Amino acid sequence: MSDALKSKALTDVEIFCDGACSGNPGPGGYGTILRCRGKEKELSGAAAETTNNRMELTGALEGLRQLTRPCRVTITTDSQYLVKGMTEWLSGWQRNGWKNSKKEPVLNKDLWEALVEAVKPHQVVWQWVRGHAGHAENERCDCLAREAISAMKNQN
């Protein structure tokens, strides 16, 4: 089957994600919305001691992990760290043995490697939006992330 036909056969999925931290590092959470064929699914989770960047990556990763077959995916986030990491920095990090431009180990390597694996079966477009600027899905993801932090704190 030609690439054009394969592309048409793929299901379109939108993933919106955000991460939050109460202190950085500190308790953190992520919120993710998956949208496909007019249906939505919300995901969230929290970690007791983490960073905002880890939660941003986790939100995208958990969304991708929900997909059971190859899809055409648009991931929308307010994290330039996530977007630039996946679209600009990743190939250099891999080429340089997971060292950044300062020759230091790349932070969050475990999550970057998991994202690399998670995107492999899909056609992924990374889209940045300004945070806290009224983008409905981004605002909802932020709310989910903060609710996850609160719920975790209340359990302890």
- Is 110 a known ligand-binding residue? no
27 SS3 class: strand
Taking CA atoms, 134 is separated from 55, 69, 82, 137, in Å, by 21, 32, 20, 9
CA dihedral (58, 122, 66, 12) in degrees, to 10, reads 110
- Is 56 a known ligand-binding residue? yes
- Is 12 a known ligand-binding residue? no
Q: What are the residue numbers of the active site? A: 18-19, 56, 78, 132, 142
Q: Which residues are annotated as a binding site for Mg(2+)?
A: 18, 56, 78, 142
Q: Which residues are annotated as a binding site?
A: 18, 56, 78, 142
